[in-house]
Structure 1
Amino acid sequence: MLIRLLSGLALLWAMAPALALEPLSIYTDEWPPISFEDGGEVKGMAVDLVNQIQHRLHQDQPVKLLPWARAYNFLLNRPNVLLFVLGRTAEREKLMTMVGPVAASEINLYCRKGEAEALRRLGDKLQVQPVTAFRSSIFLAVAKQHGFKNIVESTDPVQSALLLHASRVSMWSEGDSVVDNVMRKAGLPVQEIELLQPLEKIDLYLAFSRGTDRATILAWEQTLRDLKRDGSFRKLYQRWLPGAAAPMQVERVGVEP
């Protein structure tokens, strides 16, 4: 009888974090292989990570895939929202709480194959050539920060790839870790584009909206630390991004929850 009672108490103790935490609305966007839809299922490196964290916290909230601009609007205007992955900027640190990094990428400018040399010869005039990036993304923000003035906003990375393919723009601002997968998702050969120039290296985070319970954010932060400490994160990262260096530090930045 005593053993049964102790077992029951142990189970309740293990479940305590799940019982205490406010349910999250969890969103991501189409950004393969980090997050993407395949056969009606949301998959990807960061999706697997989020689900592993939920499993350890005894949670099972669905991950919903939305256009980035819509999901980002939810993050800015609703409590208890988690959006992933998101690039860290000084402006965003004033608007949300970020935990990570959970991935790293380099923002590059890409152009159609065979056009890079001619574009580089434009010098300062390159900045008036049309460049695409998806709406509300860090890729769009970084292009603007580097002085590019003729920005053509797309709804998602696949549309950006198609705009470049159709010669609607001269350049595409995108992350090096996903560009090949985005091209394939768009039904385009990877060999059709080439690197024009690197812009900036970034770390990518899980982002929690203002009003999200502090205990929830701290639980996710600690569980991410645990996954990195026991090797689970590195194993997951290498499965999706073979050869890429997994970011192993953990920090919480932005709005204090």
Structure 2
Amino acid sequence: MEVHAWRQALLAAATALTLCAGTQVQAGDLLGVTEDVPPFSYLDGGRFVGLANEVLDRVAAQSGLRVQRSIQPFARGLKTVEDLPNSFLYVVVRTPAREPLYRWVGPLDDCDVVVLTLRSSGMEFSPHAADARVLRIGVVKGSPAGKMVREAGMPERSIYQTPGSETSTRMLYAGHLDMVAGLSLPYQHQASRLGLDAGQLTVAHVLQKGYGCYFAFNRQVNEALFRRFAAAFETLRSSGELKTLQERAAQERLAGR
């Protein structure tokens, strides 16, 4: 009931913003909904950090928009953004199936979708091997990885849906999963954050290269707000500042920060 009431309150606020005439900046012009997906977006000491949030900070400053943020499990975030016109989900892989569902701003990163396993397991991603035992592959509920794993030939009984990359990472290292599918960087970051050996993670199979990670807006978003956001992102990209942020984030990952 609390979640429902919270969503209804946000919906009422978003509707009010949508009905407002003109383009005056208002408190909470947009709601950005993210999941715990380090190193792109996560909470650290109550602060939203990671590459996506650094970009969002600069877009907000450049555009003058006030962006509220909420961190939710991915499947719940999908529903929240579906219900609220002036909202967007981040970080989202821009697949062909999702293309008509949102208005897109980005990309933030290439975001290849892969299948990972532990080096020590010696396992291979071989869905068509007749004598292969049933693999247990973790995918985040609501993510495109599950569909991609099915399309690669894995049976439904091999696919285990989890609420997020942290849960999948814990299950992989505990031996409850054989593999995980999704973006490699969040799994590497989660392993390090949990005190596990991230060097054990290895790519067993590439499901899709280069769809890219984006800000995905409700298609009913106020046009003026969307244009201001998109224009600010383009300024960030064309000025070279986005590339600078990406390079700094990569250096921090290499340094283990």
**Superposed counterparts of 1:34-73, under 5 Å:** 34-73=40-79
Work out which of the residue numbers 143, 167, 177 in structure 2 matches 1:159: 167
Call closer, same or farther: CA 1:29–1:129 in 2, change over 3 Å.
same
State the Cα distance separating 1:123 from its structure 2 match: 4.8
Give distance in 2, aligned partners of 1:196 and 1:186.
22
The CA deviation string for residues 189-232 of structure 1, in whole angstroms up to 9 with x for no partner, is: 11333221222113111110121111222221111111111111
Work out which of the residue numbers 229, 236, 249 in structure 1 matches 2:238: 229
Percent of aligned pairs with the same residue? 20
RMSD (Å) for aligned C-alpha atoms: 2.4
What secondary structure sits across from 2:215 in the alignment? strand
Greater mean deviation of Cα atoms: 131-140 or 55-64 = 55-64
Call closer, same or farther: CA 1:120–1:218 in 2, change over 3 Å.
closer
Give distance in 1, aligned partners of 2:222 and 2:150.
34
**Aligned 8 A contact 2:28 2:67 in 1:** no
Work out which of the residue numbers 24, 28, 33 in structure 1 matches 2:39: 33
Unpaired runs of at least 5, structure 1: 1-15, 245-257
Give distance in 2, aligned partners of 1:208 and 1:89.
14
1:210 aligns with 2:216: no
Give distance in 2, aligned partners of 1:229 and 1:213.
24
Give distance in 1, aligned partners of 2:37 and 2:93.
13
Call closer, same or farther: CA 1:120–1:22 in 2, change over 3 Å.
closer
The CA deviation string for residues 158-190 of structure 1, in whole angstroms up to 9 with x for no partner, is: 100111112112111121333321211233111
Aligned residues: 228
Work out which of the residue numbers 249, 253, 256 in structure 2 matches 1:240: 249
TM-score (norm: length of structure 1) = 0.80
State the Cα distance separating 1:22 from its structure 2 match: 7.9
- State the AA in 2 paired with 1:175: L
Q: Which residue of 1 aligns with 2:7?
A: none
Greater mean deviation of Cα atoms: 186-195 or 27-36 = 186-195
TM-score (norm: length of structure 2) = 0.80
What secondary structure sits across from 1:205 in the alignment? strand
**Aligned 8 A contact 2:93 2:111 in 1:** no
State the Cα distance separating 1:79 from its structure 2 match: 0.9
Call closer, same or farther: CA 1:193–1:229 in 2, change over 3 Å.
closer
The CA deviation string for residues 144-171 of structure 1, in whole angstroms up to 9 with x for no partner, is: 2212222101111010011111211211
What secondary structure sits across from 1:56 in the alignment? helix
Give distance in 1, aligned partners of 2:133 and 2:215.
32
Unpaired runs of at least 5, structure 2: 1-21
Call closer, same or farther: CA 1:93–1:21 in 2, change over 3 Å.
farther
Greater mean deviation of Cα atoms: 62-71 or 16-25 = 16-25
**Superposed counterparts of 1:32-181, under 5 Å:** 32-116=38-122, 118-119=123-124, 123-125=128-130, 128-149=134-155, 150-181=158-189
**Aligned 8 A contact 1:96 1:207 in 2:** yes
Call closer, same or farther: CA 1:60–1:127 in 2, change over 3 Å.
farther
**Aligned 8 A contact 1:21 1:215 in 2:** no
What secondary structure sits across from 1:90 in the alignment? coil
